[in-house]
């Protein structure tokens, strides 16, 4: 297992829409077996970055390597074979509206896995359990689900093929705080048990503090990457403002932790 070489390496990425430049020679390394949090203001290009990695959008220039292979140069078939091992949760869920929840989750398995139909169905229920949904949901259609349920079903679908690399675009936005915390636990559990690498765009301070190994901040069309303490020491004004409110809270956490009943998580809240 390559531990030193990055799993994904983005070099000098430039993305442009007309005259609007979204990424200006951006560099980012994603390491094996880490949980990387991506933060940035609305419209700073987080989703565009994910779309570039996923091959949904051709960058203006730059290179994206996965395990040493340049994704922008390999054949489409090879790229799609690589993507069988990737799971993606889109910002708006992107469930197939004409398929039931069960069929949505089973679709990737039907297409690409050697499992028998019965096993697919059982695993579909297991995935539903994993994302914290009742089994009755299986028969519903996406238009009958709440926003948070759509997120969870979309995650279940992303997990259908037991991926090694998971991309999450704002997974906990739209979830209540308890579900969001459960979601974080789920990600950590998958991460430890499956040797999973997770790339998550998030604004959830809890997620950033408790589960992310490193944080990448998209500011000024480029990346500032580091562990959370390193990032919080960065003098950039946007970063200071973003984490400013939380720093105070974070400092006060040790006081709380002396009380036995308090969970280990700092209770930092984002106030957008």
Partner 1 sequence: MMDLQTQYHEASRSLTLTLTGDWQQSGAPRIHALLSQVPTQNISAITCDATQASRLDISAAWLIFKHMQQWEQAGIAIQFSHFPKEYFAYFRQLPPDDTATQPLQPSAIWQPLQEKVSWLGYLLTDSLTQLRSAISFFGYTLSVTGRGLLQPRRLRIPSIFYHVFTTGLQAIPIIVLLACLISIVITYQGGSELKNLGASIYTVDLVAVSILRELGVLLTAIMVAGRSSSAFAAEIGIMKTNQEIDALKVAGLNPYEILVVPRILALLIALPLLTLLADILALAMAALISTWSLDISTDQFVTRLQQNIEVRTFLAGIIKAPFFATVIAITGTWNGMQVDGSAESLGKHTTAAVVQAIFIVLFLDAVFSIFYYSIGF
Ligand X SMILES: Nc1ncnc2c1ncn2[C@@H]1O[C@H](COP(=O)(O)OP(=O)(O)O)[C@@H](O)[C@H]1O
Chain residues in the site for Mg ion (CB under 5 A): 47, 91
Shortest Å distance, C-beta 93 to partner 1:
13
> Rounded to an integer, what distance in angstroms lies between the CA atom of residue 187 and that of residue 96?
24
Name 82's Cβ contacts closer than 8 Å, sequence gap at least 6.
66, 69, 71, 74
Tell me if 129 contacts partner 1 by CB under 8 A. Answer: yes
Helical residues (DSSP H) of 31-176, grouped into ranges: 46-53, 76-83, 101-112, 117-130, 147-158
Estimate to the nearest angstrom the gap between the alpha carbon of 132 and the chain centroid.
18
Shortest Å distance, C-beta 198 to ligand X:
17
Binding-site partner at residue 48 among ligand X, partner 1, Mg ion, none, CB < 5 to 8 Å by type: ligand X
Site for partner 1 in 216-245 (CB under 8 A): none
> Rounded to an integer, what distance in angstroms lies between the CA atom of residue 58 and that of residue 52?
6
Binding-site partner at residue 40 among Mg ion, partner 1, ligand X, none, CB < 5 to 8 Å by type: ligand X
DSSP 175: S
Among 37, 40, 87, 148, binds ligand X (CB under 6 A): 40
Among 12, 16, 27, 43, binds ligand X (CB under 6 A): 43
Among 27, 69, 111, 119, binds partner 1 (CB under 8 A): 119
> Rounded to an integer, what distance in angstroms lies between the CA atom of residue 34 and that of residue 45?
22
Cβ atoms of 199 and 187 closer than 8 Å = no
Contact range with ligand X by CB under 6 A, out of 36-44, 119-127, 137-145, 219-227: 36-44
Among 16, 80, 98, 227, binds partner 1 (CB under 8 A): 98
Which of 260/272 has CB closer to Mg ion?
272
Question: x/- contact string, 44-73, with ligand X (CB under 6 A)?
Answer: xxxxx-------------------------
Q: Which of 9, 33, 60 is closest to 223 using CA atoms?
A: 9
Shortest Å distance, C-beta 111 to partner 1:
12
Binding-site partner at residue 249 among Mg ion, ligand X, partner 1, none, CB < 5 to 8 Å by type: none
Cβ atoms of 142 and 93 closer than 8 Å = yes
Instruction: Encode 213-237: b = buried (16+ Cβ within 10 Å), e = exposed.
Output: ebbbbbbebebbbeebeebbeeeee
98, 113, 215 from 64: Cα distances, Å = 34, 27, 19
Contact range with partner 1 by CB under 8 A, out of 4-12, 21-29, 122-130, 231-239: 122-130
Provide the edge-to-edge strand list for the sheet that holds 20-30: 20-30, 8-17, 61-66, 69-70
Tell me if 96 contacts ligand X by CB under 6 A. Answer: no
Binding site for partner 1 (CB under 8 A): 1, 96-98, 113-115, 118-119, 121-123, 125-127, 129-130, 135, 141-143, 159, 161-162, 189, 192-195
Binding site for ligand X (CB under 6 A): 17, 22, 40, 42-48
């Amino acid at each position: 297992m390559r531990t030193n070489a990055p799993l994904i390496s983005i070099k000098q990425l430039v993305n442009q829409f007309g005259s609007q430049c979204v990424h200006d020679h951006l560099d980012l390394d994603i390491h094996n077996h880490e949980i990387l949090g991506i933060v940035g203001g609305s419209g700073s290009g987080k989703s565009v970055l994910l779309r570039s990695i996923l091959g949904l959008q051709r960058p203006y220039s730059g290179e994206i390597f996965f395990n040493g292979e340049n994704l922008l140069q390999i054949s489409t078939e090879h790229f799609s074979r690589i993507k069988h091992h990737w799971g993606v949760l889109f910002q708006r869920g992107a469930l197939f509206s004409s398929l039931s929840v069960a069929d949505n989750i089973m679709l990737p398995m039907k297409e690409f896995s050697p499992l028998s139909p019965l096993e697919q169905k059982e695993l579909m229920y297991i995935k539903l359990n994993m994302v914290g949904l009742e089994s009755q949901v299986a028969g519903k259609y996406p238009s009958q689900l709440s926003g948070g349920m759509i997120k969870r079903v979309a995650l279940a679908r992303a997990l259908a093929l037991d991926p090694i690399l998971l991309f999450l675009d704002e997974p906990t936005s739209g979830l209540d705080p308890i579900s969001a915390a459960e979601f974080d636990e789920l990600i950590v559990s998958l991460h430890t048990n499956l040797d999973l690498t997770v790339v998550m765009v998030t604004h959830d301070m809890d997620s950033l503090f408790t589960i992310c190994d490193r944080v990448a901040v998209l500011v000024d069309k480029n990346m500032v990457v580091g562990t959370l303490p390193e990032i919080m020491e960065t003098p950039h004004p946007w970063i200071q403002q973003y984490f400013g409110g939380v720093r105070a809270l974070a400092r006060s956490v040790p006081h709380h932790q002396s009380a036995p009943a308090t969970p280990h998580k700092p209770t930092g809240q984002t106030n957008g």
